[in-house]
């Protein structure tokens, strides 16, 4: 019988935990989140990019827990706002802002922007740390910002983001569609392949993974 490995999903966001757990389904992990970790100090997200913050979180939480750690940093980039809110997406309206507060600020700043000038994308960076190596996987989902909030599924900016090729927001499309096409889904599918190789479920030789001392982008 294959030994179950404990994997720390370095977030307290229940929506992210659900999405990550679903895409990693079938791998022999006992998944825990920061909600399960007592006495763990929060990582300081001082990076200037999603990748930097993902690495910072993976390193910080591995050092405290000594568990194989998967961290994620993601957000929304809106072209007409010069790429805002970017890596500040979770705290766009204020530190510890709610999802609705962030969405309200976004729509306020975009008031009067025409439908053909509302291009945006979700970007995700996932870092995996085991104390010896760091792996990075990224994903991106192009789309546009709706004129108003619609739908109740998901979290974050899902009620105002319409992915390319669709006419409804992520919050109306629901988890089955989002988990196939989202930025996080794309990054997690790459991360899953990295984890499979760490578990030796598949041959370790792969162009996306270097030696145990390297940092690799998938």
Active site residues: 73
To the nearest 10°, report the CA torsion of 126, 127, 130, 135.
Answer: 100
Q: Which residue has the tokens 């390319």?
A: 164
Q: With helix as H, strand as E and coil as C, how does the chain read?
A: CCCCEEEEECCCCHHHHHHHHHHCCCCCEEEEEHHHCCCCCCCCCCCCCHHHHHHHHHHHHHHHHCCEEEEEEEEEEEHHHCCCEHHHHHHCCCCCCCHHHHHHHHHHHCCCCCHHHCEEEEEEEEEEECCCCEEEEEEEEEEEECCCCCCCCCCCCHHHEEECCCCCCHHHHCHHHHHHHCHHHHHHHHHHHHHHHHCCCCCCCCCCCCCCCCEEEC
Reading the block at residue 78, the tokens are 């809106």
């Amino acid at each position: 019988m294959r030994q179950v490995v404990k994997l720390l999903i370095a977030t307290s966001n229940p929506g992210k935990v659900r999405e990550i757990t679903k895409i990693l389904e079938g791998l022999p992990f006992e998944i825990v989140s920061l909600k399960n970790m007592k006495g763990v100090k929060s990582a300081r997200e001082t990076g200037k990019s999603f990748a930097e913050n993902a690495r910072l979180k993976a390193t910080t939480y591995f050092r405290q827990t000594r568990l194989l750690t998967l961290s994620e940093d993601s957000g929304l980039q809106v072209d007409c706002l010069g790429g805002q809110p970017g890596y500040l997406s979770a705290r766009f309206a204020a530190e510890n802002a709610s999802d609705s507060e962030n969405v309200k600020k976004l729509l306020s700043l975009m008031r009067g922007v025409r439908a053909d000038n509302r291009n945006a994308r979700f970007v995700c960076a996932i870092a995996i740390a085991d104390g010896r190596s760091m792996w990075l996987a990224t994903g991106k989902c192009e789309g546009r910002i709706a004129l108003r909030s619609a739908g109740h599924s998901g979290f974050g900016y899902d009620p105002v983001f319409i992915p390319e090729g669709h006419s409804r927001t992520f919050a109306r499309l629901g988890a089955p569609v989002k988990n196939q096409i989202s930025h996080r889904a794309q990054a997690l599918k790459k991360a899953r392949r990295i984890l499979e190789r760490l578990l030796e479920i598949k041959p370790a030789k792969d162009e996306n993974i270097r030696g145990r001392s390297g940092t690799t982008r998938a």
